[in-house]
C-alpha cells in the first residue's frame, strides 16, 4: 500500500473548504512570489541552493491555484506573470510539498499572513520541504504519543521555558546555562520514554529543519527573531496536544542560536544525524550522568511546580476524554474504512493518542480509490495507518454517506454495509 501523508503547518490557520475569503488580486500573488524569491536569493549560503522554486498558492474555498511557473502537463494557464488553474478534487489541500502535474511544488493555502516576515517564513518552510529530498533529508513525520502523557508534557514545557530564557540571555555564559538545562530536561524525557529520542529526532529533522530554514530566510534582526520565537512558544503551549507540533519550536531555536556562531552547521547534518547529540557537542555542553536529579534540581528555575500542577489537572480531563473516544469509536456502532492508496491532510495541533488503539484526528480529509472522506468531528486512525474509524452513519444516500461530523463521498463500486453479527459497519467493494 502506498501512502502519502500531508501535514497542515501550524503557523497558518486552516481554512474550511466552505469558508469564503476576500478576492486575491494577481498583483498580490506576484508580490508574494517576488518576496520569497528575493529572500531566497539573499540566503543562498544557507543550503548552497536557492530555496525558491515551483510554488502553488491555493484558495481552499474555490480550489483555484496560482503558480510561479508552468506545470509540465499544461493544466495551468498563463495570466500575465503567473499561471492559474483549478486543483483537482482528489488532491488534498495543505501547506506542504507535493508532486503534481509533472513537478514537485511547495504548496501553501491562501490567504497568506498579512505580515511580510511571517509570509516569507511560511513560504520558505514549505519550499524547504520541496527541496528536502534533493538535500538528502527523509520525509518522516512520526507521532510522538509520549508528548501527550503527563511526564512527556512536563519536560517538554520545561525545555521550552529554558530555551525561552536562552533567547533572552544577556551574555554567552547565561545562554549556555539555559541551553544546558533545556537539554537536561530533554535527556531526562528520553530516559522516561525509551523510544522518544528516535521519534522526536525524526520529526525535528523534518519539520524542525524546515522551520529553521523559514526563520533564517526571513532575515529577521536578533530582536525580531527573539520576539518571533517567544511568541511561537506561547502559541504552541495553547495547542491541545504537542504530539506532532513541538518540532516547529525546539529545533528552530537551537538552530538559530547555533547559527549566530556557526552559520554552516546545517550543512554538517544528514538524515541520520542525532540532533540532540549534535547540539550538545556543538554548544560544548556537559550533561550530568544523573539527569533525573539534575532536572529536578533546576526545574523550579522555569516555573516547574506550576507546570507539574497544571499537567496533573490536565491528565484528569484527558482520561475522561479518552473514555468518551473509546465509547464513540470502539464500543458503539462505527464504520471501519480500510485504506488502499491513501492520501491524508490534517491539522497536527489537535490530534490525540488513544492508548494502543490509534490516534484521534478531530479534523482530516482523506482521499483513496474509494472516494473522499471529510472529518470535522473526530475519527480514529489505526496505529499502523491501515484504516480509519468514524461513528455510525446517520444517512446513506446513494454515493454519499454522512454521520456525526463526517461525510464520505464514494466512487462507483463501493458501498457502506452493516455487519449484523457485530452491529458495526464497513466499507466494501461491490
> What does the alpha-carbon distance between residue 28 and residue 194 come to, in Å, rounded to a whole number?
49
Per-block mean pLDDT, blocks of 10 residues, the chain (430 long): 41 38 83 98 96 97 97 96 96 95 97 97 98 93 92 98 98 98 98 96 97 98 98 96 95 98 97 98 98 98 98 94 95 96 89 92 96 96 95 96 97 95 94
Residue at grid coordinates 512527556: 152
Cβ(230)–Cβ(246) below 8 Å? no
pLDDT given at position 211: 98
> What does the alpha-carbon distance between residue 220 and residue 281 come to, in Å, rounded to a whole number?
26
Cβ(385)–Cβ(423) below 8 Å? no
Cβ neighbours of residue 249 closer than 8 Å, sequence gap 6 or more: 160, 163, 211, 229, 232, 233, 236
pLDDT given at position 139: 86
Beta carbons within 10 angstroms of residue 419's beta carbon: 11
pTM of the model: 0.88
| 238 Ramachandran zone, left/alpha/beta (phi>0; psi -120 to 50) | alpha
Beta carbons within 10 angstroms of residue 424's beta carbon: 16
> What does the alpha-carbon distance between residue 290 and residue 307 come to, in Å, rounded to a whole number?
22
Cβ-count burial of 58 within 10 angstroms (0-12 exposed, 13-18 middle, 19+ buried)? buried
Amino acid at each position: 500500500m502506498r501512502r502519502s501523508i500531508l501535514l497542515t503547518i501550524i503557523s497558518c490557520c486552516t481554512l474550511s473548504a466552505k469558508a469564503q475569503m476576500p478576492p486575491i488580486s494577481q498583483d498580490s500573488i506576484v508580490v508574494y512570489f517576488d518576496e520569497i524569491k528575493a529572500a531566497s536569493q539573499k540566503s543562498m549560503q544557507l543550503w548552497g541552493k536557492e530555496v525558491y522554486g515551483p510554488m502553488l498558492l491555493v484558495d481552499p474555498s474555490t480550489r483555484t491555484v496560482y503558480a510561479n511557473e508552468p506545470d509540465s502537463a499544461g493544466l495551468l494557464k498563463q495570466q500575465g506573470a503567473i499561471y492559474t488553474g483549478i486543483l483537482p478534487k482528489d488532491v488534498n489541500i495543505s501547506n506542504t510539498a507535493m508532486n503534481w502535474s509533472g513537478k514537485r511544488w511547495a504548496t501553501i493555502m491562501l490567504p497568506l499572513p498579512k505580515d511580510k516576515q511571517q509570509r516569507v517564513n511560511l513560504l520558505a518552510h514549505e519550499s524547504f520541504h520541496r527541496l528536502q529530498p534533493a538535500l538528502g533529508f527523509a520525509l518522516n513525520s512520526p507521532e510522538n504519543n509520549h508528548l501527550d502523557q503527563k511526564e512527556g508534557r512536563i519536560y517538554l514545557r520545561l525545555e521550552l521555558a529554558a530555551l525561552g530564557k536562552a533567547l533572552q540571555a544577556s551574555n554567552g555564559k547565561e545562554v549556555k546555562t539555559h541551553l544546558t538545562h533545556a537539554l537536561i530536561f530533554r535527556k531526562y524525557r528520553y530516559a522516561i520514554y525509551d523510544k522518544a529520542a528516535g521519534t522526536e529526532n525524526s520529526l525535528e529533522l523534518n519539520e524542525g529543519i524546515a522551520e529553521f530554514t523559514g526563520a533564517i530566510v526571513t532575515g529577521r534582526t536578533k530582536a525580531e527573531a527573539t520576539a518571533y520565537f517567544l511568541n511561537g512558544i506561547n502559541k504552541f503551549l495553547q495547542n491541545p496536544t504537542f504530539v506532532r507540533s513541538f518540532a516547529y519550536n525546539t529545533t528552530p531555536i537551537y538552530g538559530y542560536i547555533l547559527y549566530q556562531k556557526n552559520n554552516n552547521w546545517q550543512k554538517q547534518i544528514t538524515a541520520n544525524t542525532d540532533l540532540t547529540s549534535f547540539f550538545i557537542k556543538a554548544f560544548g555542553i556537559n550533561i550530568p550522568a544523573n539527569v533525573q536529579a539534575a532536572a529536578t534540581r533546576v526545574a523550579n528555575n522555569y516555573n516547574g511546580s506550576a507546570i507539574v500542577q497544571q499537567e496533573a489537572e490536565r491528565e484528569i480531563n484527558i482520561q475522561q476524554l479518552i473514555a468518551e473516544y473509546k465509547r464513540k469509536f470502539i464500543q458503539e456502532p462505527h464504520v471501519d474504512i480500510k485504506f488502499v492508496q491513501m492520501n491524508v491532510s490534517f491539522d497536527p495541533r489537535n490530534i490525540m493518542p488513544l492508548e494502543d488503539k490509534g490516534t484521534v484526528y478531530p479534523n482530516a480529509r482523506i482521499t483513496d480509490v474509494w472516494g473522499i472522506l471529510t472529518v470535522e468531528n473526530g475519527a480514529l486512525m489505526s496505529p499502523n495507518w491501515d484504516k480509519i474509524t468514524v461513528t455510525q452513519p446517520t444517512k446513506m444516500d446513494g454515493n454519499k454517506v454522512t454521520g456525526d461530523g463526517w461525510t464520505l463521498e464514494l466512487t462507483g463500486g463501493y458501498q457502506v454495509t452493516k455487519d449484523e453479527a457485530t452491529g458495526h459497519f464497513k466499507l466494501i467493494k461491490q
